[in-house]
Structures are given as structure tokens and as C-alpha cells.
Amino acid sequence: MPLRVIPALLLFFLTGCATTGTGGKDPEPVAPEPQEIAETIPSSTATIDEHLYEPEIEPVAADPADPHVHASVWERLVHSFALPECANHEKAVKWAQWYAQHPEYMGRIFKRAQPWIYHITNEIEQRELPGELALLPIVESAYDPFAYSRGRALGAWQFIASTGKNYGLNQNWWYDGRRDVWASTDAALTYLDTMAVMFDGDWLLALAGYNSGENRVARQVKKNKAAGKPADFWNLKLPRETRGYVPKLLGLTCLFKYPEQYDFEIPATPDQQVIAAVDIGQQADLVLVSQIAEVPIDVLFTLNPGYNRWATSPDGPYRIVLPVESAELLQAKLEQVDASALMRWDQVVVQNGDSLSKISARHNVPVSVLRSSNNLNGDLIRAGQKLRLPRDDQLMVDPLYAQAAVELQNLQSGLIAADQITHRVRRGESLSVIAKRYRVSVRELQRWNNISDPRKLRAGATISIFHQPAQPPVATSGSVKYVVQRGDSLWSIARKYNVRVNDLKNWNDLGNNSMIQPGQSIKIEL
């Protein structure tokens, strides 16, 4: 059945990811429970939707004489579907109905997926994998590359740190490959393909392994076979989340295969390349790249979410993803630009009494970065010595770099799975009073609640506050710095980040002391 298509849906503000699923392992019809629905609707404060790259491309008509020419990339994708028939499982049908009944939510997803879906579809076809895998980021993150779960998974494909490293996704001060859609797509498809081979071509088991770990699934398969029981996905004893994970994806499969049946309309996303990758070949200043390629800095950061800073990592990758036209322009200009002009540094003169650790703290730059930036083998420095220093985005006076710092902060502000609090304004309260009470900024309150004029705040109005760590987890190498809020305990923080209380004590040298204070900084290892 051909897809029904309409122009791309409107942009919506609320973002986030869906990671939890339905309960029960039997194939009996089970509708998503209210709690599960609430967990599915995103609640993060990410502002990716404010910066989306929306390409202006002319639609291409399908060619009946050529089955390889499709009116929409989504239509092409459906032709490569290969998973078991979704309509045979009533849980999947229930999820298809749920997705169809939430067009605003799906509209946000289609918008976010638009720059990437052509590339992802091509990668899937070249590997001869099931087309349904392109729908997996909907289940994992709602196609938000800045999505961050309490399970410490990051990116559109939701990799935890260890699995990401196992599949070549570097994570350091400069860069986190888990957020790099280009790199994480390659890693995710490789991981899924590996598990499909491991499970003898059973893709439902491979998907279950992606969610809960291949070893856990393998143990359950072995256990069922030893007991003479069926060892397919539907008969395995798996975690509740995993039991709902596969039906969610199958539900999306039903929705895309049979949109008319669900009275759902698929956007007409043209089956055309809209982004391209350029290998710079060296560390490069992203602000300079944006100038050379004549692309706005917010667009550049949106299409390159893996970069934590104003520059690529010195150890790579050096890949820059841009709109096709900008990529062509950059490629042409790189032949005329001196390589030394692609990177800018600040400089600091070592003072009496200085050490690398002191300079590190003063300029908010890890000691390891200072060493690598200055080819230092140890910590020995001398007064008068000049050190190269990565530009401090907190102290930048250059308007271009100041804008870059703002854009990065805006995009990365939603990386933490935030807790939402609703506050009812009391008589005499102002935004500054409320901000002080909840340890947030007035600007954040305005952004979260779309308040343009703070003077118009009225008693009885409700204000949303999102508690989150002061810094996104990507700002450090392998750890998150969480600022303790009023009412926090080690137990509540441990539960939020899915770690143990004893781990928190060890990471922060707390010993047997479990007392923490508001404003205190707590280190959490990713």
C-alpha cells in the first residue's frame, strides 16, 4: 500500500526521548498504560527544535517505471522493511494506534529526522539491513541527538559510554561520538548487525539485545532451549522495558506500512541528499569553518552535535557535516586556505606560583588538554613560559565566539534528564525571587515558560522549573558534575542517575558521610 504524504508538519517546542515500554511478555493485547504513555512523551528541556536545519528542496515525483525513484524517503524506507509482520502482534497494533493519535509528537520527530533520514536509509540499504532500523531512533530518543537518559545513555541511538567506546565512539573533552549522528549511526548499525548474526538472523532478539544487552538475551535463549521451551522473543523472560521495546518498534512499522489504516499521514520528505560530510583533515575552529562555509553557527552546531567545544578534537574526527551547498563551498575554499589559519588559540603567560592545575582551574580547561595542546609530557612549567590555551568560552569578548558559546549552551542545555516542578506564583513574588528559590536563572525561567515581559507575572499563574545539573555531561571527560538541589539526598541522586550510593561516596571522597548541602558539587561517573 503506498504511503499517504503531506507537506512537512509544523515545528513544535517540546522535545525529548521515549525509552520505556509496555509490560507483559505474552502476545495478548495490552494497551499502553497511562504511566507508560507519560514516560513515552519527552520531558527534556532541549532546544534542538529551535535550531533545526530545514532544507529547502523541491519534491521529486515517483516514477512508476523505475521502482528506485520514490516521492518520499519514508516510502523508500518502507520498501526495505524485513521484520516479522507487525499486524500479527496486538501489542504492536496498540502502539501503532498510540503513535497515530499523537500527531504533534510525531511531527516533532519528523522534523528532527529530516536532515538525517536520507543518510541513515542509504547506510541501511548498503548494509542490506531491515529498513525498520531507521525507526529505532524514534523509540530511543525521538530523533534528538542531544537526548540524555537517566540510564546514562546519550544521543539519537542512546549509547552508554562503555558500549560507545566498544564500537569506536570516542568521548573526551572536545567530542562525544555518541551524539555524532554520522558516527553513532555507523556504530549502531554495526552493533545491531553483529547481534543479528549472533542470534542466527533473529532480528527481534537482536533488538532486544540492543535494549538490554546481548549477553542477557543470550542467557535467556539458552535457558529456554535447555528447558525445551520456545526461545523466540515473545517467550523469553526479559526486563519489562525490553518486553515493551520491541512492540514499540513494530508498532511504528505498522504505522508506516499501513498509514491509511490508522488515519495517519506521513510527511513528504523528498528522497534527496540534503547534508554532506567534509573531512577537514586536522583540528579546526568551528567558528572559522562557519565563516568559510558561509553557514550560520547554530546550523553548524546542530548538524555536528558531537562537538562539545568551539573546535574539533585534536585527535579527530575532523568531519564537518553541512548542508550540501555549504559542504561544496567549504571543500572548494579549503584548497585556497592555509591549514594554519583553521585553528585559533588563546595564550597565557605562566606566573610565579602557577601550576598546570591552577591554570586549569582558572580557565576551566582540564590539565590533560593543557598538556596535549602544548606538547607537555609532564606537569613541569616555569614562570614566563607561554602556553597555548583553548579559547575560554566563558571569557570570550569576540562576538562570534560569544555567539558560539551561547548556541552550544542552548543546544546542550537539554542533555540532562531534568525533573520538572510546577510552581504557583504567590502574591508579591517576582521571577528573580522564584529563580533564587529554585537556584535557576531568570533567563531560564523566561525560556521555559515563554515569558517575554517579567513585569506581567501575575499571582496564581503556574511556572515550570526544570532541575538539572549545572553542566551537561559532555563538558567533562566521562563524568557529570551535579549541583545539589534543596531536598536532594545521596539516595535520590543515585536513583536519578542509576548508580549506587556507595559509588557516589567513593567518587566524591565522602567516606561514611551521607550529608550533602544545597549548592554542593557532586561528581558522577558516566
Cα angle: 40, vertex 141, 446; to 5 degrees: 80
At 20, the pLDDT band (50, 70, 90 cuts) reads: very low
Q: How far is it, in rounded angstroms, from Cα 441 to Cα 118?
A: 39
pLDDT at 50 over 60: no
Dihedral over alpha carbons 454, 458, 460, 463 (to 10 degrees): -10
pLDDT at 93 over 90: yes
- The phi and psi torsions of 317 (rounded to 5 degrees) equal -75, 160
Q: What is the pLDDT of residue 513?
A: 64
pLDDT at 395 over 50: no
Q: What is the mean pLDDT of the chain?
A: 79
Of 388 and 91, the structure prediction assigns the larger pLDDT to 91
Question: Which architecture, in CATH terms, is 419-467?
Answer: Roll (3.10)
The mean-pLDDT minimum among 30-39, 204-213, 276-285 falls in: 30-39
Q: What is the pLDDT of residue 494?
A: 74
Dihedral over alpha carbons 324, 315, 144, 484 (to 10 degrees): -150
Q: How far is it, in rounded angstroms, from Cα 167 to Cα 208?
A: 18
Give me the mean pLDDT over the 175-184 stretch.
Answer: 96
User: What pairing do the DSSP bridges indicate for beta strands 319-323 and 346-349?
Assistant: unpaired
Homologous superfamily of the 478-525 domain (CATH): LysM domain (3.10.350.10)
384: left (phi over 0), alpha (psi -120 to 50) or beta: left
Q: How far is it, in rounded angstroms, from Cα 289 to Cα 340?
A: 13
Q: What is the pLDDT of residue 365?
A: 79
pLDDT at 382 over 70: yes
Known catalytic residues are: 140
**Amino acid code (one letter) for 225:** K
Q: How far is it, in rounded angstroms, from Cα 389 to Cα 348?
A: 7
- The phi and psi torsions of 525 (rounded to 5 degrees) equal -75, 135
The mean-pLDDT minimum among 18-22, 445-449, 517-521 falls in: 18-22
pLDDT at 108 over 50: yes
Q: Which residue, among 421, 405, 422, has the nearest Cα to 468 in the 3D structure?
A: 421
What digits encode the pLDDT tens for the residues 62-84? 555 555 557 799 999 999 999 99
Q: Hey, where are the domains in the chain? A: 5-170+182-267, 275-342, 346-390, 419-467, 478-525
- The phi and psi torsions of 321 (rounded to 5 degrees) equal -95, 130
Give me the mean pLDDT over the 192-202 stretch.
Answer: 97
Q: What is the pLDDT of residue 94?
A: 94
Q: What is the pLDDT of residue 15?
A: 29
According to CATH, the topology of domain 5-170+182-267 is Lysozyme (1.10.530)
Question: Fold identical between 5-170+182-267 and 346-390?
Answer: no
Q: What is the pLDDT of residue 327?
A: 96
Q: What is the pLDDT of residue 245?
A: 94
- The CATH class for the domain spanning 346-390 reads alpha beta
Q: What is the pLDDT of residue 11?
A: 26
The mean-pLDDT minimum among 41-45, 157-161, 193-197, 379-383 falls in: 41-45
Q: What is the pLDDT of residue 74?
A: 95
**Cell 532486544 identifies what position?**
208
pLDDT at 468 over 70: no
What digits encode the pLDDT tens for the residues 282-340? 999 888 899 899 998 888 989 999 998 888 988 889 999 999 999 999 999 998 888 77
At 456, the pLDDT band (50, 70, 90 cuts) reads: confident
What digits encode the pLDDT tens for the residues 247-283? 999 999 999 999 999 999 999 899 999 999 999 999 9
Q: What is the pLDDT of residue 49?
A: 60
DSSP letters for 338-393: -GGGG---EEEEPPTT--HHHHHHHHT--HHHHHHHTT-SSS---TT-EEEE---T
Q: What is the pLDDT of residue 58?
A: 58
Q: What is the pLDDT of residue 496?
A: 66
Number of CB atoms found within 10 A of residue 443's CB: 10
DSSP letters for 487-522: T--HHHHHHHHT--HHHHHHHTT-TT-----TT-EE
Rounded (10°) angle between helices 181-198 and 203-212: 120
Q: Please, is 117 exposed, middle or buried when counting C-beta atoms within 10 Å of its C-beta (0-12, 13-18, 19+)? A: buried
Q: What is the pLDDT of residue 14?
A: 26
Give me the mean pLDDT over the 419-431 stretch.
Answer: 77
Q: What is the pLDDT of residue 425?
A: 87
